[in-house]
Amino acid sequence: MARVAIVTGGTRGIGEAISVALKDMGCIVAANYAGNDERAREFSARTGIAAYKWDVADHQACLDGVKAVEGDLGDVDIVVNNAGITRDGTLLKMTYEMWREVMDTNLGGCFNMAKAAFPGMRTRGWGRIVNIGSINGQAGQYGQVNYAAAKSGIHGFTKALAQEAAKSGITVNAIAPGYIDTDMVAAVPPDVLQKIVAKIPVGRLGQANEIARGVAFLCSEDGGFVTGSTLSINGGQHMY
């Protein structure tokens, strides 16, 4: 029987690559998105993957969204928490609203989605949760105290939930991407991007499908002995 997977932020960038990789692996995939209806329709028409709209920062919306997916596609076995936003600025310029929005979406979304899907996984005795962190949650980044704090929190969340989940046949892991060639990175000024690439030992940006292949492994049967781990896919930019 095919596993049902939800990928948050799953209609563009890294999320799109993950959605497609899981479909290619034989999963029935629901791609969550928050805002761009036209982009979501184009994604579904091109990939054949159903798109579902809700805000992962909204706890009740996540509960309702998972129920809707289960009603349409079946019990949810896999959750990939990929949805994320940036509201960059130094601490002196950062408003509380900029802090709260990033924390509620990037970290709160992981809690909300796990809370919605975990009970069913536990009852059935099988599940995969993969949380997308960041190199900037590991090493920090100037002008991103909100983003770095949220992504760092994801790594701690992953380790703690993995301990709770292991006895129920559920693995919980994280992936920490480095700088990936997506729309978000394309918005970085060229001179700044050139300096970033110069610090990556392999000498290039990563590709979204390189992250997706890591997610696919962690979500597979073969990944069953890996839990509480963070897989860094960053071209050697941060090693520890």
CATH number at 177 reads: 3.40.50.720
Dist. CA 131–CA 114, nearest whole Å: 10
Dist. CA 185–CA 204, nearest whole Å: 13
**Domain membership flag for residue 35:** yes
pLDDT band, very low/low/confident/very high, at 113 (cuts 50, 70, 90) = very high
**Domain membership flag for residue 79:** yes
**Domain membership flag for residue 240:** no
For residue 78, pLDDT over 80 is answered with yes
Whole-angstrom CA distances from 21 to 7, 190, 216, 222 are: 11, 30, 7, 15
pLDDT confidence of residue 205 = 94
**Domain membership flag for residue 20:** yes
The parent domain of residue 31 ranges over 4-233
Dist. CA 205–CA 108, nearest whole Å: 28
Mean pLDDT of 89-118: 97
Compute the Cα dihedral for 48, 53, 54, 60 and give only its sign: negative
**Domain membership flag for residue 206:** yes
What total number of domains does the chain contain? 1
DSSP 85: -
pLDDT band, very low/low/confident/very high, at 41 (cuts 50, 70, 90) = very high
For residue 55, pLDDT over 80 is answered with yes
- Per the CB < 8 A criterion, the answer to whether 128 and 174 are in contact is no
For residue 186, pLDDT over 80 is answered with no
Of 99, 125, 112, 121, residue with least CA distance to 154: 112
Mean pLDDT of 32-41: 95
Mean pLDDT of 77-105: 96
pLDDT confidence of residue 159 = 98
147 is a catalytic site residue: yes
pLDDT confidence of residue 170 = 98
DSSP string of 102-151, one letter each residue: HIIIIIHHHHHHHHHHHHHHHHHT-EEEEEE--HHHHH--TTBHHHHHHH
Q: Which residue has better confidence, 135 or 40?
A: 40
pLDDT band, very low/low/confident/very high, at 137 (cuts 50, 70, 90) = confident
pLDDT confidence of residue 50 = 98
**Domain membership flag for residue 57:** yes
In percent, how much of the chain has pLDDT > 70? 100
* 10 C-beta neighbours (distance < 10 Å), count: 30
Which is the catalytic residue, given 33, 147, 179, 240?
147
For residue 184, pLDDT over 80 is answered with no
**Domain membership flag for residue 216:** yes
Q: Which residue has better confidence, 68 or 88?
A: 68
**Domain membership flag for residue 29:** yes
pLDDT confidence of residue 142 = 87
pLDDT band, very low/low/confident/very high, at 192 (cuts 50, 70, 90) = confident
For residue 24, pLDDT over 80 is answered with yes
